[in-house]
Amino acid sequence: MPTELLLFYALGAGAVLSTAAMLLPTTGRSPIHAALLLIVSFFFLAGLYALLSAHLLSILQIIVYAGAIMVLFTFVIMLLNLSPDEIREPKISYAKMLGGGVALFVFGKLLNGIGLAASAAKAVDLTQHDTFGTVKEVGHMMYSTFMVPFELVSVLLLVAAVGAVVLAKKNLAYVDRPVPSPAEEFKTEGHAAGDGEAAAGHGGHH
Amino acid sequence: MLHDLALTSPLLILLFAALFTLVVDPFLPSTTEARSFWGRFGAGTSAMAILACAMLWKHGGNEMHTVAFGYHLSASPMSLFFTALVAMSAMLTHLSSPKYLVEQGSSYGEYYALLHFATFGMAVMVSSESLLSLFIGLEIMSMSIYVLVAFKRTSAASVEAGMKYFIMGSVASAFLLYGMAFLFGMSGGTSFIEIQRALAMPKPGQGGWLHLAVLMTMAAFLFKVAAVPFHMWTPDAYEGAPTPITGFMSSGVKVAAFGAFLKILYAALAGVGMSELHLPMATMLATFGVVTMTVGNLLALTQKSVKRMLAYSAIAHAGYLLLGCVASVPDGTLGAPYAVPTGAVPFYLVGYAVASLAAFAALSTVGSGGEELTGEAQLVGMGRRYPFAGAVLGLAMISLAGVPPTLGFFGKLQLLRDVLAVENGKYLPHVIILVLNSLVSAYYYLRVTVFVYMRPEGRTEREYVREPSLTWAMGIAMAALLIIGMLPYRAMTMAQTAGAGVRTAVASRHVAHELPAKAEPAAAAQK
């Protein structure tokens, strides 16, 4: 137990400190530093999940959040390419104050709830008593109780992929400009090559 | 398993139609003929879905209220009625699309696949028995519609509309998810049965969280149905979208959103729990309804573009329907504290969906070469140059205004009657405002017919888009408006059955007999 407790405090402190470091004036001015600190924070959180024997969540935290989503974040920051003087001093507006107030209120309520739960909780060895959160258990639930939502999500992802291709692909085959047959394409020296490729690769990659 | 597949057959037909379109389209030549084939194919498969709903309705018997696939989907009268209605919207949209898209220079096969996906999402929404499937259905629908709104990729207005709708819609989805998270946190389950069971025995200190959850969920639905104060996106999104898609948004999306809203209101939230927690849900809905209809109608008065005017009229109709949501009667099996909606909202939705589909199909005939000519002045002479489209547009306007021989009149009549019947006329002031609003709306609806028929035509002769499947779309919508309008009794009874079937039989049994089954361990954990 003490080892576990020690690990918990170490990981928790790491997560909190790396998040708090984003607010420092030196790093806070640089979006890319903040994003990198967020990755660090995600890793600490993944450790906390592993400690709770939620193995799958811990792995997903690293693959999805620390991996995919953070790559997206850093790409967006790099694409925006803000110079330091473009980043203005934060201003305090009424909307921000209101939002901050609501956030504080919710935070207080949550603290209260955690306090209530903690007073009722008993020490349980999660590895012994509960398989909740293991890969096997989550997989079992996903393919039994939550099979329908799981399948529906696959449709949702398909729709999103098709939609992204439809909106972002450069050349889609136009009706008013029919795709030429290979022979005609040869004659016109490939100005319609893009169209032919688009017709063949509908719904394919960008 | 097989049984479950049969119960969800309307959904499966729509899904397979979408996948088939997506897979086969690249192998077809991208010609006008191939695209109009997809239009007819889509109409055919939607009709098959309607047929499947009708079969389940007719032969369902005792299985009518069954849940399929472990409490995530159901085939209750309500879900079948609403599924048939969204499939009908999809059918007319499929028919009115092909030629319009060719004229606008963005005729791609993915359009029809996305239309199917959107319909599938709507069907999932109205058939859902759990928050999970409801939310995913809503997202499938929304994602498809965002893309369809921006489908005219070369038109700045269309892309802007899609972007606006996407950003605002994402915020609404976030609200919905947050509200659902709180509902889940309080009840420990995602299915409507579990939520209802948990709310029937509220634990001390839950009230505030429940209010928060309900308000957030309600805000998201008010956004989806375009109710004030969440209506800002509507005019731009409706005007920028391709005309058939505008029709689909004002019919299918509205039907699905109200269907899902009724389910959440009555199957998940309503009952003893709500009244004990002192949330004046009905009063709030009625107030939002009155404000929405008034704002929508007043703004519609000043519009010069018919498409934009119909967007504001969609807001006004959302107001009427919100007021209709308070019309309820005691549940037949569970008794007094539990309520079910009357047939008012389902029946009103039939009239509204058909009329707006007819109007937008008729508007699809004007405009060519990448241009849309839906200004009032541009409709002058339509009655003479293309009498059929003019007649359909005129009839749709008359029905939307609620003039007697049409479906719109009976929809409004039943809505008024059912709302008045609630608690001996508690909502009389609201109903009076509704009637005054209808009078105001007659002005701008009938003004369209004046432009179509009574204004002298200028020197320029306008060409109209004429195409067989578009004619079919207009013809079917017109026939439905007139026939159901003249013989409304059958549809009214079906709508009533639909309303009464909001709760599945399984849910009723659970609520009636297993009330104290699950609460103790959760309560112990709370302390």
Is A172 in Cβ contact with B108 (below 8 Å)?
A: yes
Tokens of B67: 């849940």
Sign of CA dihedral B81, B86, B90, B96: positive
Mark yes or no for CB contact A156/B114 under 8 Å: no
Q: Which of A149, A156, A203 sits opposite B72 (nearest CB)?
A: A149
pLDDT band at A197 (very low <50, low <70, confident <90, very high): very low
d(CA A150, CA B130): 13
Query: Cβ contact (<8 Å) for B30 and A174?
Result: yes
pLDDT, tens digit, 9 for 90 and up, residues A15-62: 999 888 887 766 666 778 888 888 889 999 999 988 888 888 899 999
Question: Which pair of structure tokens corresponds to residue B26?
Answer: 């690249």
> With an 8 Å Cβ cutoff, is B124 touching chain A?
yes
Binary contact (A147, B70; C-beta < 8 A): yes
Contact B117 A159 (CB under 8 A): yes
Contact by Cβ (8 Å): B340, B332:
yes
pLDDT band for A173, please (50, 70, 90 cuts).
low
Q: Which fold has domain A1-85+129-142?
A: Four Helix Bundle (Hemerythrin (Met), subunit A) (1.20.120)
Residues 52-111 on B with a CB inside 8 Å of A are 69-70, 72-73, 101-102, 105, 107-110
How distant is the Cα of B313 from the closest Cα of chain A, in angstroms? 29
Q: pLDDT for B484-500, tens place per residue?
A: 988 889 999 999 988 88
pLDDT tens per residue across span B175-216: 999 999 988 988 888 888 888 878 777 676 676 778 888 889
CA distance B367 to B370: 8
The residues, any chain, with a CB within 8 Å of residue B518's CB and separated by 6 or more, are B188, B194, B197, B198
Contact residues, chain B, for A151 at CB < 8 Å: none
Tell me the pLDDT tens digit for each residue of A58-78.
999 999 988 888 888 888 888
B130 with A156: Cβ contact below 8 A: no
Instruction: Tell me how far apart the alpha carbons of residues B174 and A153 are, in angstroms, rounded to a whole number.
Output: 17
Closest to B35 (Cβ–Cβ): which among A160, A175, A199?
A175
Kindly report the nearest CA distance between residue B357 and chain A, in angstroms: 24
Q: How far apart are CA B233 and CA B217, in angstroms?
A: 19
CA distances B259 to A9, B279, B310, B347, Å, are 49, 22, 22, 12
Q: Does the beta carbon of A179 lie under 8 angstroms from any beta carbon of chain B?
A: yes
pLDDT at B317 over 90: yes
Helix, strand, or coil (residue B488) = coil
Q: Which tokens go with B160?
A: 């802007």
| Selected residue of A124, A147, A148 to mutate for chain B interface (largest B Cβ count, 10 A) | A148
Residue B267 has a pLDDT of 84
Chain A: closest CA distance from residue B16 (Å):
11
Q: How far is A176 from chain B (nearest CA, A)?
A: 7
Q: Does A155 touch chain B (CB under 8 A)?
A: yes
Q: pTM for the complete prediction?
A: 0.87
Q: Which of A130, A140, A169, A175 to mutate to test the interface with B (most CBs of B within 10 A)?
A: A175
Contact with chain A for residue B132, Cβ under 8 A: yes
Q: Could you tell me the sign of the dihedral formed by the alpha carbons of A142, A145, A151, A152, in that order?
A: negative
B515: left (phi over 0), alpha (psi -120 to 50) or beta: alpha
Among the partner residues B26, B31, B137, nearest to A203 by beta-carbon distance: B26
Q: State chain B's mean pLDDT as an integer.
A: 87
Task: Please list the residues that pair with B331 across neighbouring strands.
Answer: B335
Note whether A155 contacts B108, CB cutoff 8 Å. Answer: no
Please report, rounded to a whole number, the percentage of residues in chain B having pLDDT higher than 70.
Answer: 91
3-class secondary structure per residue, chain A: CHHHHHHHHHHHHHHHHHHHHHHCHHHHCCHHHHHHHHHHHHHHHHHHHHHCCCHHHHHHHHHHHHHHHHHHHHHHHHHHCCCHHHCCCCCCCHHHHHHHHHHHHHHHHHHHHHHHHHHHCCCCCHHHHCCCCCHHHHHHHHCCCCHHHHHHHHHHHHHHHHHHHHHHCCCCCCCCCCCCCHHHHHHCCCCCHHHHHHHHCCCCCC
Best of B5, B30, B101, B368 to disrupt the A interface (most A CBs within 10 Å) is B30
Residues of B in contact with A117 (CB under 8 A): 525
Residue-wise pLDDT for B247-262, tens only, equals 999 999 999 999 999 9
Residue B411 pLDDT grade (very low, low, confident, very high; cuts 50, 70, 90): very high
- Among the partner-chain residues A120, A145, A159, the one whose CB lies closest to the CB of B70 is A145
Q: What is the pLDDT of residues B324-374, one digit of tens each?
A: 998 888 777 776 677 888 889 999 999 999 999 999 999 988 876 667 777
Task: Please work out, in degrees rounded to the nearest 5, the angle formed at the alpha carbon of residue B493 by the alpha carbons of B488 and B496.
Answer: 125
B200-208, long-range: CB < 8 A, 24+ apart: B200/B271, B200/B272, B200/B273, B200/B511, B200/B515, B201/B273, B201/B515, B201/B516, B201/B519, B202/B273, B202/B276, B202/B277, B203/B522, B203/B523, B203/B526, B206/B277, B207/B277, B207/B278
* Reported confidence tier of residue A145, pLDDT bands at 50, 70, 90: confident
Is B136–A167 a contact, with Cβ atoms under 8 angstroms apart? no
From the list B70, B136, B526, the residue facing A152 with the nearest CB is: B136
Residue B352 near residue B254 (C-beta atoms within 8 A)? yes
Contact B30 A199 (CB under 8 A): yes
Beta-carbon neighbour count of residue A110 at 10 Å?
10
Say yes or no: A166 contacts chain B, CB-CB below 8 A. Answer: yes
Overall average pLDDT of the B234-247 stretch: 93
User: Residue B75 phi/psi, 5° resolution?
Assistant: -120, 65
- Residue indicated by tokens 């609520």: B511
Bond prior to A2 in cis (omega within 30° of 0): no
Nearest CA in chain B to A160: B143
- Report how far residue B471's alpha carbon sits from residue B468's, in angstroms, rounded to the nearest whole number: 5
Beta bridge partners of B66: B75
Cβ pair B223, B147 in contact under 8 A:
no
The model's confidence at residue B526, banded by pLDDT at 50, 70 and 90, is very low
How many A-B residue pairs are in contact by the CB < 8 A criterion? 100
Best residue of B20, B147, B211 to probe chain A, by most A CBs closer than 10 Å: B147
**Please, which pLDDT band fits residue A126 given cuts at 50, 70 and 90?**
low
Once rounded to an integer, what is the mean pLDDT over residues A158-180? 73
Strand partners, B328: B341
Q: Do B133 and A148 touch (CB under 8 A)?
A: yes
Residue of B22, B143, B147 lying closest to A156 (CB–CB)? B143
Average pLDDT over residues B111-137: 95
